[in-house]
């Protein structure tokens, strides 16, 4: 498999590390950013058309997939062994029936596979997966040699400039030449303007590209059909926009959080898709509070939250908890806190887990269901989508 051309890496090579933005091996610190523009409607906006399809090359059986920033990548055969950094791309591969070939993810604790438990015939052996992040949030080039994947579903600019992983352009070129090509785009957030100056993709635009890599376009279309019908059904039951609550999305580690990193729901990163689908308003709109990004690691406390006083408070860093476990720890602590207990969201018990930082299409089906029932408990209950239809789509 050979990469035919390499585009967009010049800007990424200029930034080798940004202070305070290393991704960690657990959920003790956030690693997600926010955008400064975008809307909170039910759609995801792309900065490009994202519509190119994979093309076959003559009679050799090879085919080409085009995706920013790399450009055209030509495959002589369908990849069997693959790895990712963002766990959302792992979720895409699983949705396309490629779970058995997954070798590694960037940060294993941020790959939530429990959603698969509700889907017949869908599973991932998490214990067999390798974590790319090593000590000090570094990625060892030799590990990528050892894994010997057929394709790296990773934005190479993220490895060079995203979080100080210790890799350089020369390392990417060497791995591309000696191991396998890179193809991917950092889509979980849209704030890395220092180096991500090229096209972004929505979740389903990126998902379609992954389907082209694995030559699973029909399976993608079947899954997308389930998604489209499901989102349309949920949106048809939503109250008028003016009657929907606003929300403050934060990262707060530990069972007794006192300090929080704020996000902006207006950011079009894929990990906020469920909130965009529901048309949830951003409680920080017009407050002057900026959101978390690689260059802005500011925090807020309960006093600042009280000035905003959101209808709903969302706290990331707790996806390993059930709803009851979250309520019995984080919410319970806030209810007994001198300042937090004054928040409207706390008094109304409208404090919920904030969802995964890296999110893919299977996970999104479940987080949308969860958010719909959290925000609109009088409207939504029970299963909001057909698990068997999802299992059928994944199995092909």
204 neighbors 184 (Cβ within 8 angstroms) = no
Model confidence at 298: pLDDT above 60:
yes
Judge if 25 and 174 occupy the same domain.
yes
Q: What is the pLDDT of residue 285?
A: 87
Residue pointed to by tokens 């969860």: 370
The 10 Å Cβ neighbour count of residue 2 is 12
Q: What percent of the chain has pLDDT over 90?
A: 74
Question: Angle between the 87-95 and 361-375 helix axes, to the nearest 10 degrees?
Answer: 110
Q: What is the pLDDT of residue 146?
A: 98
- Residue ending a domain, choose from 229, 250, 269: 229
CA distance 223 to 283: 33
Could you give the 3-state DSSP secondary structure of residue 247? strand
Judge if 81 and 171 occupy the same domain.
yes
202 located within any domain: yes
Q: What is the pLDDT of residue 135?
A: 84
Judge if 56 and 10 occupy the same domain.
yes
CA distance 326 to 47: 36
226: pLDDT confidence band, cut at 50, 70 and 90? very high
Judge if 201 and 284 occupy the same domain.
no
Model confidence at 31: pLDDT above 80:
no
234 located within any domain: no
**Helical ranges in 109-195 per DSSP H:** 141-147, 156-157, 169-178
Judge if 35 and 172 occupy the same domain.
yes
42 vs 219 pLDDT, higher one: 219
Judge if 245 and 307 occupy the same domain.
yes
CA distance between the termini of the chain: 26
- Residue ending a domain, choose from 229, 258, 282: 229
pLDDT digits (tens, 9 = 90+) for 114-166: 999 999 999 999 999 999 999 888 999 999 999 999 999 999 999 998 777 99
Minimal CA–CA distance to 358: which of 220, 189, 116, 222? Answer: 189
Model confidence at 324: pLDDT above 50:
yes
**Helical ranges in the chain per DSSP H:** 9-13, 87-95, 141-147, 156-157, 169-178, 203-213, 217-236, 273-277, 302-308, 323-326, 332-335, 344-347, 361-375, 387-395
Q: What is the pLDDT of residue 164?
A: 77
- Residue ending a domain, choose from 176, 204, 229: 229
CA distance 231 to 53: 24
Q: What DSSP string runs through 79-103?
A: --SEEESSHHHHHHHHHTT-GGGEE
Judge if 45 and 181 occupy the same domain.
yes
Average pLDDT, rounded, for the chain: 86
Q: What percent of the chain has pLDDT over 70?
A: 83
36: pLDDT confidence band, cut at 50, 70 and 90? very low
Q: What is the pLDDT of residue 236?
A: 98
Judge if 131 and 195 occupy the same domain.
yes
CA distance 103 to 129: 5
Model confidence at 332: pLDDT above 80:
yes
96 located within any domain: yes
Range of the domain at 222: 2-229
Domains in the chain, number: 2
- Spell out the residues 6+ positions from residue 42 whose beta carbon is closer than 8 angstroms to its own: 231, 235, 276, 277, 278, 279
pLDDT digits (tens, 9 = 90+) for 258-276: 999 888 898 899 999 999 9
Q: Could you tell me the CATH number of the domain that includes residue 301?
A: 3.40.50.1980
From the number of C-beta atoms within 10 Å of its C-beta (0-12, 13-18, 19+), residue 254 rates as: middle
Record the pTM: 0.86
Model confidence at 363: pLDDT above 60:
yes
Judge if 124 and 30 occupy the same domain.
yes
Q: What is the pLDDT of residue 9?
A: 36
Judge if 324 and 373 occupy the same domain.
yes
Q: What is the pLDDT of residue 56?
A: 65
Give the residue-averaged pLDDT of 28-52: 40
pLDDT digits (tens, 9 = 90+) for 72-106: 999 999 999 999 999 999 999 999 999 999 999 99
CA distances from residue 137 to 234, 241, 280, 293 in whole angstroms, order as listed: 39, 42, 34, 17
**Which pair of structure tokens corresponds to residue 292?**
């978390």
């Amino acid at each position: 498999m050979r990469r035919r051309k390499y585009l967009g890496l010049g800007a990424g090579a200029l930034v080798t590390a940004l202070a305070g933005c290393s991704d960690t091996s657990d959920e003790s610190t956030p690693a997600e950013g926010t955008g400064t523009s975008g809307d909170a409607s039910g759609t995801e906006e792309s900065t490009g058309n994202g519509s190119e399809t994979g093309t076959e090359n003559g009679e050799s059986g090879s085919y080409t997939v085009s995706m920013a920033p790399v450009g055209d990548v030509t495959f002589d055969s369908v990849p069997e062994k693959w790895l990712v950094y963002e766990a959302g791309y792992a979720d895409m591969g699983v949705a396309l029936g490629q779970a058995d070939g997954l070798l590694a993810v960037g940060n294993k604790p941020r790959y939530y596979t429990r959603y698969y438990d509700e889907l017949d015939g869908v599973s991932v052996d998490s214990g067999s997966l390798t974590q790319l992040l090593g000590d000090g949030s570094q990625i060892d080039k030799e590990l990528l040699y050892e894994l010997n994947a057929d394709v790296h579903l990773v934005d190479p600019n993220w490895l060079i400039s995203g979080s100080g992983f210790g890799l350089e352009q020369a390392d990417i070129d060497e791995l591309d030449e000696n191991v396998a090509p890179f193809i991917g785009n950092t889509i979980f957030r849209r704030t890395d303007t220092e180096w991500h100056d090229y096209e972004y993709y929505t979740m389903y635009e990126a998902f379609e590209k992954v389907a082209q890599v694995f030559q699973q376009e029909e399976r993608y279309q079947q899954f997308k059909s389930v998604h489209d019908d499901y989102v349309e059904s949920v949106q048809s039951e939503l109250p008028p926009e003016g009657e929907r609550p606003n929300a403050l999305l934060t990262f707060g580690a530990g069972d007794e959080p006192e300090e929080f990193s704020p996000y902006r729901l207006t950011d079009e990163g894929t990990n906020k898709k469920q909130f965009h689908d529901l048309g949830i308003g951003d409680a920080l709109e017009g407050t002057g509070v900026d959101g978390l990004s690689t260059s802005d690691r500011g925090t807020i406390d309960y006093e600042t939250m009280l000035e905003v006083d959101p209808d709903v408070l969302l706290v990331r860093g707790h996806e390993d908890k059930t709803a009851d476990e979250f309520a019995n720890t984080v919410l319970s602590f806030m209810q007994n806190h001198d300042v937090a207990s004054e928040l409207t969201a706390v008094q109304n018990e409208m404090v919920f887990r904030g969802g995964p930082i890296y999110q893919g299409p299977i996970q999104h089906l479940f987080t949308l269901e969860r958010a719909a029932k959290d925000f609109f408990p009088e409207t939504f209950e029970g299963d909001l989508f057909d698990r068997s239809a999802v299992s059928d789509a994944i199995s092909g």
